[in-house]
Structure formats: C-alpha cells, structure tokens
C-alpha cells in the first residue's frame, strides 16, 4: 500500500509531462558561424563545403540552385532549390525553399567579387526550418584580357530551428 502512494503520483506526473503539447513539441534554435569553399559552380548551381562552429559544430555541404547571376551590383536573383546537410552530433538534412543571391561588388579591375547569399531551409529531417546568410567571395585575377575566377570562399551564419 505504501508503494502505491509513491508509484501512482509518479506515474501521473510522468503522464502529464508527456501529454502537455509544449513539452512534446518544444523546438530548439541553434546558431553557428560557417566558413568554407565553393568547390564547383555553373551558371545555375553552386556547391559548397565547410565547417560550422557554435551550437551544432561540425561540417556542412550545400548545393544551391539559382537563376543566372545578374552582373549589376545590387541586383538579386532567386534561389530556386538545392540541398543542405550538416554533419554534427546528428546529421541534419534539408532543402532550400527560397532566398536570394545579391551581387554586392564586382570591381572593374578584376578584384574580389562579393555576393550576399540568403537562403531559407525547410523540410529538415528534424521537422524544423532554418536560414543561411553568407558572403560569397570570388577570388579573381587578370589573365590576358580575361578576368578569371580561381577560387571562392564563404563565411556567414546558420540558424536552425529543430
């Protein structure tokens, strides 16, 4: 009888915690600083890889599909799709559902070309969503009469709600 006085209230308390919607569906917001490289690019797709430091440290890969880039500073083109994977304490995958790529600067002397990339992530395997905001820097050099991009780096932030 004495054990029932202890077990019944404990079971009721555990059941109440499990049935309260806020406990079962509580979301967590994680923020990381990301850095990396663009290792492949076409006129409509960029592929990136790098590291994340913060709440979910690890490595990431991203493929960003977009409309053809506008060569005029200040002009934006839409992100049309793509995928994202974060390899952290757990693997988080998702899709780009929108966003924009905006040319910030394109020096006429073939200097570093910079873009702001803001992407919206959804369909995360955790049930959440996210946002990516990075600066993409194209490293360029003059080669004869041509301006040649020889590398690209990214740096910015990643915010995930899981």
* 121 sits in which H/E element: strand 113-122
- What per-residue confidence (pLDDT) applies to 6? 43
Could you state, in chain order, the average pLDDT of each consecutive group of 10 residues for the chain (162 residues)?
Answer: 43 36 66 98 96 98 96 94 97 97 93 96 95 97 92 98 90
Strand 91-105 to 76-87 pairing:
antiparallel
- What per-residue confidence (pLDDT) applies to 162? 84
- What per-residue confidence (pLDDT) applies to 4? 39
- What per-residue confidence (pLDDT) applies to 80? 97
- What per-residue confidence (pLDDT) applies to 25? 53
Structure tokens at 17: 């915690």
- What per-residue confidence (pLDDT) applies to 16? 35
Beta-bridge partners for 134: 117, 156
- What per-residue confidence (pLDDT) applies to 27? 84
């Amino acid at each position: 009888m004495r054990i029932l006085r202890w077990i019944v209230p404990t079971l009721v308390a555990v059941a109440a915690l499990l049935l309260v919607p806020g406990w079962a569906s509580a979301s967590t917001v994680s923020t990381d600083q990301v850095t990396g490289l663009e290792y492949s690019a076409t006129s409509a797709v960029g592929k990136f890889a790098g590291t994340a430091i913060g709440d979910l440290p690890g490595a990431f890969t991203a493929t960003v599909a977009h409309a053809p880039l506008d060569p005029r500073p200040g002009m934006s083109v839409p992100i049309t799709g793509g995928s994202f994977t974060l390899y952290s304490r757990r693997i988080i995958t998702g899709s780009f559902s929108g966003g924009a790529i905006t040319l910030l600067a394109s020096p006429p002397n073939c200097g570093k070309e910079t873009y702001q990339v803001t992407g919206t992530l959804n369909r995360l395997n955790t049930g959440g969503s996210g946002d990516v905001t990075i600066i993409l820097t194209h490293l360029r050099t003059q080669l004869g009469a041509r301006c040649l991009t020889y590398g690209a780096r990214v740096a910015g932030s990643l915010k995930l709600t899981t």
